[in-house]
Chain A
Amino acid sequence: MKVKITEEELIKRCLKADPLAQRYLYEKYAAKFLGICKRYFVNIHDAEDVLVMAFAKIFEKIKHYRGEGSFEGWMKRLLINECLTTLRKKQILFVEADAHVQLADNTETAEQMLNTEDLLACLQRLPDGYRTVFNLYAIEGYSHQEIANMLNISEGTSKSQLSRARNLLQNYLKEMTKEASFRLNEVSQWKNIK
């Protein structure tokens, strides 16, 4: 039998270190948070390690949550900080790149032909530095100034990293779309033969 519990109640019980509440919180957010971790790390084991550490921190620091903003947002921030700390430990390099590169617009076809797993594969092909900045700017919605502070880099570096990441992603999408269209053609030809 499933018992519905409000977020407030869940937080209160987690504050009391109730193991059942902790488990419930984990079950509720683990899949979503692992999805986030996968965007930052190519290796699934790294992503899982970070998730474990992040949940341990959430349960440890839950007493510091003052109810300002959503609880999920607070947990997400902790998770992303954990991801960045781990990446920093890996000493990712943020190389300066040309900021303004004209990209061929093929996003609409890519959107139609590729699924989330394909996009994740594209994202994971990016170098660590590019991927991190892209994740923070494009998906999490941080500004270049915030990213610069978080990663201890200059704003210019953040911008150039983003531009380079976009450029590379465009190329990867092109490749992926080609592959996908080729596969589609093969399938239609196979159907015609039949």
Chain B
Amino acid sequence: MEKHKIDKLFENAFVEFVSTPNANLWERIETQIPQSSSKKTHKKRFIWLLLSLLFLAISWVSYRYSHEELLAGSHKPKKAEYVASIPTHTNMDTQENDKKFDVNAATKHHLEPTTVLEKKIGSETPNLPPAEEKSIELIQKEEKKMTEVEIKKDSISQSISSKPLKDTLQKSQTPKGTKIIIKLSEPEPSQEGKARDFAATKTGKFLRKLKKIKNGESKIPKLHIALN
């Protein structure tokens, strides 16, 4: 079927018809375009990365915390350690031995459990063993609560300006130069130390009682069991 002349006229006229759009038209289109999928995926990736990092951080912190707890737990004195040290004193008859081996004194100065154990294992021998003596020496050394640190004046930089440090410094004139004595105060006993003190006092009392029983100064306490 042939096309109408008017139809042809208009068709030919509008085949290549163009009209320049407004400059801001693209901006309007941009606002209407649905958010690009790539942007969405980038956002998703970022969120996942953030979440995984957070998870890693949390797991690391929890691991560290539990690990530290475990480590701290391994240093805590076990009952067995103290128990092991108890029977050694049954061999000590004299007051001297009692003086030499004072568990309280040892524990007061926060000896490491291993040191205490060494000492006690050594004390299991019939005569006073050298190990025990050594440990007492250690205790005596530790009794020196103050540590003197000698620092030559020349080596000290003038930059020591913090007030608390200045207060603790005592200057004394010597022919060679000035000596600065830094007094370090004893650290407060930790929970661990306190626990050890408590255990040690208990064992000390028990040992003294045992000696008294052996010497005949006191009688063996009767065990009363009440049955309902």
How many chain B residues touch the partner (CB < 8 A)? Answer: 29
Q: In whole angstroms, what is the CA distance A111 to B8 when docked?
A: 10
CB < 8 Å: which of A22, A52, A170 contacts B28? Answer: A52
Task: Verify B22–A48 contact, CB threshold 8 A.
Answer: yes
Contact with B along A59-103 (1 / 0, CB 8 A): 110000000000000000000000000000000000000000001
- Interfacial chain B residues near A173, Cβ < 8 Å: 6
Whether a CB of chain A sits under 8 angstroms from the CB of B156 is no
Stretch at the interface among B11-19, B81-89, B91-99, B140-148: B11-19
Stretch at the interface among B32-40, B50-58, B68-76, B113-121: B32-40
- Nearest-neighbor residue (CB-CB) of B26 within chain A: A26
Q: In whole angstroms, what is the CA distance A190 to B30 when docked?
A: 52
Whether a CB of chain B sits under 8 angstroms from the CB of A147 is no
Contact with B along A18-47 (1 / 0, CB 8 A): 110011001000111011001100000000
| Given known contacts A17-B37, A17-B38, A51 and B21 CB-to-CB distance under 8 angstroms | yes
- Interfacial chain A residues near B14, Cβ < 8 Å: 35, 39, 116, 119-120, 139
| Given known contacts A107-B5, A111-B9, A166-B4, A30 and B36 CB-to-CB distance under 8 angstroms | no
- Interfacial chain B residues near A60, Cβ < 8 Å: 33-34
- Interfacial chain B residues near A139, Cβ < 8 Å: 7, 10-11, 14
Whether a CB of chain B sits under 8 angstroms from the CB of A3 is no
- Nearest-neighbor residue (CB-CB) of B11 within chain A: A139
Main secondary structure of the interface of A (DSSP, over half): helix
CB distance from B28 to the nearest CB of A (A): 5
- Interfacial chain A residues near B34, Cβ < 8 Å: 56, 59-60
- Interfacial chain B residues near A120, Cβ < 8 Å: 14, 17
- Interfacial chain A residues near B20, Cβ < 8 Å: 31, 34
| Given known contacts A22-B33, A35-B17, A52-B25, A110 and B9 CB-to-CB distance under 8 angstroms | yes
Contact with B along A119-156 (1 / 0, CB 8 A): 11001000000000010011100000000000000000
Q: In whole angstroms, what is the CA distance A169 to B10 when docked?
A: 10
How many chain A residues touch the partner (CB < 8 A)? Answer: 40
- Interfacial chain B residues near A18, Cβ < 8 Å: 36, 38
Whether a CB of chain B sits under 8 angstroms from the CB of A53 is yes
Task: Verify A52–B29 contact, CB threshold 8 A.
Answer: yes
| Given known contacts A30-B25, A56-B33, A138-B11, A38 and B38 CB-to-CB distance under 8 angstroms | no
CB < 8 Å: which of A22, A59, A123 contacts B10? Answer: A123
- Using CB atoms and an 8 Å cutoff, list the residues of chain B in contact with chain A: 3-11, 13-14, 17-22, 25-26, 28-30, 32-34, 36-39
The 5 nearest A-B residue pairs measured at CB:
A17-B36, A138-B7, A56-B32, A31-B18, A35-B17
- Using CB atoms and an 8 Å cutoff, list the residues of chain A in contact with chain B: 16-19, 22-23, 26, 30-32, 34-35, 38-39, 48, 51-53, 55-56, 59-60, 103, 105, 107-108, 110-111, 116, 119-120, 123, 134, 137-139, 166, 169-170, 173
Some 12 contacts from A to B, beta carbons below 8 A apart, are A17-B33, A18-B38, A30-B21, A34-B18, A48-B21, A60-B33, A110-B9, A137-B7, A139-B14, A166-B4, A166-B6, A166-B7
